[in-house]
């Protein structure tokens, strides 16, 4: 029953246009669905499969082959592991960490989520002992000098920033990057890419990823960027086999597929349904209570329902009331005992509107709109097997350890923040990764339910498809720019950007790199050059490549200039007079004005614009001609002022306005003087080139001949390195251009000096590792943030955190807060206008976020803060958390702004209290 992944099967059907409202529980009284008699039952073909449902026999743990392979390969190289969710990748990390600690090395374990880092921290405490494990997240900082540190990827990136600034190395021998498929996350992938690029080569790297299509390419990139060998370990075997099933509207369950095609009865239903859509109402989903009853009848609970919106999740909970689930008294007693204890610890949950449904139905809603405590309670209930179903958005699919026996797919599209788009194989793979609990289930099930927005054929084909490849998400932001300038010269940063995954993918697309070559890695190539440079005057291989290229360029330029000097002497007088705007005459007596000189030697000439009245304009455009130097028959005193911009019409008009009627010939003495000046300019250029050649260390280096003209390995290696650097810089040009754009803005604002180095303001601003460092830094240096009012500081910082556009602002704003906001906007408003002019995004600064956070910091009831915020409880909790994270960044400014840093610390303490604080 373990599925074989192949290319996507082409049997998708067309689905109706997605409306903005929810159709989860709408029903048409005249539709066929309403008249259908519901009777849960199982198709005979499915009976043998359901007969295998149950808990596997307990057995001692035995590592899978891919787990052993990964541990062995990590002894000799970096490793990228790609395996399904729940397959035991954490065991690999445990073994790797144990080996590192046994060698006396320190280890870093990084995950993308604070909740996951907290869970792993407690897990590793049990394995390695409390004294040997520390944690570093935005919320927690405990035992940070321990041999093993668990934290978020952002914190690890920040530690690498600090290490580079101090010129020190990261104190670790092993780094484990869990959930490495986040490399392709649109919002956070850049952090993963930075960590990999900045991580010292001597640190062994283990990347643990869910199944991805291009794990070998990621490994090739690591080999390329780090110069250390990297191997892949790939497993497609799910720990629990997945079996796709389908539920008919009348309650019959049957297989979804037969081999690589839809099950015949399902195919017939899909085709009939497709035809009926053009003749009548769109088919609605079966009631949620029916789906639950059907699954319970087949012993396929607990289940996770993935729904499109928070409203649908909450509505599904209400519509579950009609389900007849088999719940024993013992089950309900244990469920309510756990809830009672949890609510006792967090009394505010007693008022939650969903609590009674969870107690009586053993089903729950879980999404980002709920308070963190509610989500935690639901997760722990599910992990203990006390819930029969949860209704969730896709947040559960990413990062939360939340397995079930069955995953129900209700729609084949997803909302990407802007519009509804079809699910990808990767999306469905992440969802179905929660189906089947290792050690608790012999089989996991994916249930496809017919409905208006569920393309059943698409779902079936996606289940049989390979996941999409991870694509680089590298983007430039001000925090990155400030921190790179803190420890690198701009030329070094250009080299770093050329090492990005995006650049590597582009180069592979152009087949610029051939996988498998020993010298494909820039670092490995530079190591070989370093060995060949022994005894030279070059401090390193990069300098050797650049100096060799400059030496060759100067020698070639010197040769050209000497040749041109000889040609210039022969025609120096005329050539020297050919400056822009000079009026000349050709062999045919036509008058022209010079635009620019072109060519040299026998091909020397000028691009000129005609001055004859009948040829000045051709449909409003000037008449341009190339006139060889030997066809210039007259040079005149007049020099017209010709515009450099504005296009042909502007140039034509300038000619009309200035063309002389009877130009004056240039006297011969003046012509000869211009010739002598031209010869002198050529001599000066040759002298400057010769001087620069003399300054190059290559002139006195004992191995210069080996670099430039030798036939040995050094010349070949340097040529290869130069070619590689050119390709990398070409493919990374867009990143470099965007980086320079950021630097130039920072320079105009006084955070960077003309040399590309951080100013005093830039140095402390680099410590603000947050989403809006520049507007906040402007507010700090202009004194717009209070140094003695932590409540007001929290409210003002919230303006830079919340990015949700709202139809209406908060109905109430304290006069104290309103005054602070006016002063802040008056201070940072001009800078944000300049940011927009440069093409950068500026914060929305919603008043409702500031009002809610201000009230909360002042001690208001959470419900009151929610009403001021105008959003869901979970959204406000997230806004408060992010505000606290921003305030923590301000506490790092003790050296430069001690009063503000102290005020920020007080503000953090005011914000982090129940029900916002998540229990650890």
Strands 303-306, 133-136: pairing kind = unpaired
Model pLDDT, residue 102: 95
SS3 389: strand
Token pair 């003695």 is at which residue? 788
Angle made by CA atoms 879, 883, 885, in degrees to the nearest 5: 120
| Range list of H helices, 58-145 | 65-74, 89-102, 114-128
Model pLDDT, residue 491: 73
Model pLDDT, residue 324: 82
Query: Rounded CA gap, 713 and 525, in Å?
Result: 12
Residue among 723, 730, 719, 729 nearest 548 (CA): 719
Q: What is the pLDDT of residues 144-178, one digit of tens each?
A: 999 999 999 999 999 999 888 877 778 899 999 99
Angle made by CA atoms 272, 273, 274, in degrees to the nearest 5: 90
Model pLDDT, residue 637: 93
Query: Rounded CA gap, 855 and 868, in Å?
Result: 8
Strand order in the sheet with 605-610: 624-628, 605-610, 591-598, 582-586, 632-639
The tokens describing 502, both together, are 């995006």
Residue among 179, 210, 216, 212 nearest 195 (CA): 179
Full-model pTM = 0.74
Average pLDDT by consecutive 10-residue portion of the chain (920 residues)? 42 47 44 62 93 86 92 96 88 96 95 85 93 89 93 92 83 93 83 91 94 91 88 91 94 91 92 64 71 93 89 88 87 95 91 91 90 88 91 67 86 76 86 85 93 89 88 89 88 82 82 51 73 74 73 80 70 84 91 87 85 58 85 91 77 85 89 85 82 75 71 78 70 78 90 89 94 95 94 95 66 86 93 88 89 94 91 90 93 94 95 81
Q: Who contacts 755 (Cβ-Cβ below 8 Å, separation ≥6)?
A: none
Q: Who contacts 526 (Cβ-Cβ below 8 Å, separation ≥6)?
A: 227, 540, 541, 542, 721
Model pLDDT, residue 173: 94
């Amino acid at each position: 029953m373990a599925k074989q992944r192949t290319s996507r099967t082409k049997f998708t059907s067309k689905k109706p246009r997605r409306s903005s409202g929810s159709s989860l529980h709408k029903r048409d009284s005249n539709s066929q669905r309403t008249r259908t008699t519901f009777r849960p039952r199982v198709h005979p073909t499915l009976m043998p499969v359901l007969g295998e449902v149950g808990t596997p026999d307990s057995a001692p743990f035995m590592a899978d082959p891919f787990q052993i392979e990964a541990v062995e390969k990590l002894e000799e190289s970096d490793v990228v592991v790609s395996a399904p969710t729940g397959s035991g990748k954490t065991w690999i990390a445990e073994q790797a960490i144990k080996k590192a600690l046994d060698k006396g090395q320190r280890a870093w374990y990084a995950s993308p989520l604070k909740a996951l880092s907290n869970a792993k921290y407690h897990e590793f405490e049990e394995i390695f002992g409390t004294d040997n494990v520390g944690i570093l997240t935005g919320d927690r900082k405990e035992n940070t000098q321990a041999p093993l540190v668990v934290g978020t990827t952002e914190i690890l990136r920040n530690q690498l920033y600090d290490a580079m600034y101090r010129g020190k190395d990261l104190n670790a021998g092993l780094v484990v990057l869990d959930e490495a498929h986040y490399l392709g996350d649109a919002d956070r992938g850049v952090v993963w890419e930075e960590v990999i690029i900045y991580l010292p080569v001597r640190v062994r790297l283990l990347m643990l990823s869910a199944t991805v299509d291009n794990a070998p390419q990621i490994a090739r990139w690591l080999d390329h960027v780090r110069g250390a060998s990297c191997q892949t370990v790939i497993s497609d075997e799910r720990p629990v086999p997945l079996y796709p099933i389908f539920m008919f509207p009348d309650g019959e369950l049957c297989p979804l597929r037969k081999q690589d095609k839809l099950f015949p009865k399902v195919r017939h239903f899909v085709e009939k349904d497709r035809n009926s859509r053009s003749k009548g109402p769109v088919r609605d989903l079966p009631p949620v209570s029916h789906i639950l009853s059907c699954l319970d009848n087949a012993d396929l609970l607990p289940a996770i329902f993935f729904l499109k919106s928070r409203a649908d999740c909450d509505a599904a909970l209400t519509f579950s009331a009609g389900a007849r689930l088999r719940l024993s008294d013992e089950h309900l007693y244990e469920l309510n005992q756990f809830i009672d204890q949890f609510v006792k610890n967090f009394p505010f949950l007693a008022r939650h509107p969903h609590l009674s449904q969870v107690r009586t139905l053993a089903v729950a809603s879980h999404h980002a709109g709920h308070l963190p405590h509610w989500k935690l309670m639901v997760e722990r209930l599910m992990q203990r097997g006390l819930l029969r179903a949860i209704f969730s958005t896709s947040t559960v699919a990413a990062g939360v350890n939340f397995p079930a026996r069955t995953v129900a797919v209700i729609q084949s599209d997803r909302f990407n923040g802007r519009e509804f788009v079809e699910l990808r194989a990767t999306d469905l793979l992440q969802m179905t990764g929660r189906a089947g609990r290792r050690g608790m289930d012999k089989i996991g099930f994916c249930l496809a339910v017919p409905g208006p927005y569920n393309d059943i054929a698409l779902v079936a084909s996606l289940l049989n498809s390979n996941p999409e490849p991870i694509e680089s998400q590298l983007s430039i932001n001000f925090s990155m720019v400030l921190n790179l300038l803190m420890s690198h010269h701009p030329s070094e940063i250009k080299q770093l950007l050329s090492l990005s995954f995006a650049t590597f993918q582009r180069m592979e697309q152009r087949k610029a790199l051939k996988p498998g070559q020993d010298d494909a890695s820039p670092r490995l190539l530079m190591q070989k050059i370093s060995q060949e440079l022994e005894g030279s005057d070059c401090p390193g291989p990069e300098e050797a490549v650049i100096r060799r290229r400059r030496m060759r360029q100067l020698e070639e330029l010197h040769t050209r200039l000497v040749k041109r000097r000889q040609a210039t002497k022969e025609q120096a007088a005329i050539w020297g007079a050919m400056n822009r705007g000079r009026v000349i005459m050709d062999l045919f007596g036509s008058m022209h004005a010079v635009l620019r000189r072109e060519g040299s030697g026998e091909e020397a000439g000028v691009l000129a614009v005609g001055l004859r009245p009948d040829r000045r304009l051709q449909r409003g455009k000037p008449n341009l001609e190339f006139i060889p130097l030997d066809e210039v028959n007259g040079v005149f005193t007049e020099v017209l002022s010709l515009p450099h911009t504005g296009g042909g019409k502007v140039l034509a008009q300038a000619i009309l306005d200035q063309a002389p009627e009877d130009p004056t010939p240039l006297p011969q003495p003046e012509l000869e003087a211009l010739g002598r000046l031209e010869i002198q300019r050529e001599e000066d250029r040759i002298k400057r080139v010769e001087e620069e050649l003399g300054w190059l260390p290559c002139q006195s280096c004992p191995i210069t001949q080996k670099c430039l003209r030798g036939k040995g390995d050094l010349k070949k290696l340097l040529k290869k390195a130069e070619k590689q650097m050119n390709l990398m810089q070409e493919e990374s040009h867009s990143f470099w251009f965007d980086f320079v754009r950021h630097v130039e803005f920072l320079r105009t604002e006084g955070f960077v000096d003309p040399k590309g180095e951080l100013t005093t303001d830039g140095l402390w601003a680099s410590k603000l590792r947050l989403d809006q460092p520049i507007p906040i830094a402007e507010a700090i240096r202009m004194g717009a943030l209070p140094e003695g009012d932590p409540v007001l500081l929290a409210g003002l910082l919230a303006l830079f955190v919340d990015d949700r556009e709202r139809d209406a602002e908060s109905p109430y704003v304290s006069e104290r807060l309103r005054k602070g906001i006016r002063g802040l906007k008056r201070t940072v408003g001009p800078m944000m206008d300049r940011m927009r002019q440069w093409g950068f995004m500026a914060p929305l600064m919603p008043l409702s976020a500031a009002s809610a956070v201000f009230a909360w910091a002042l001690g208001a009831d959470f419900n009151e803060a929610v009403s001021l915020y105008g959003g869901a409880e979970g959204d406000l909790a997230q806004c408060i958390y992010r505000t606290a994270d921003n305030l923590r960044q301000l506490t790092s400014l003790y050296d430069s702004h001690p009063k503000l840093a102290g005020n920020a610390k007080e503000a953090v303490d005011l914000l982090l209290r129940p029900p916002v604080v998540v229990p650890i």
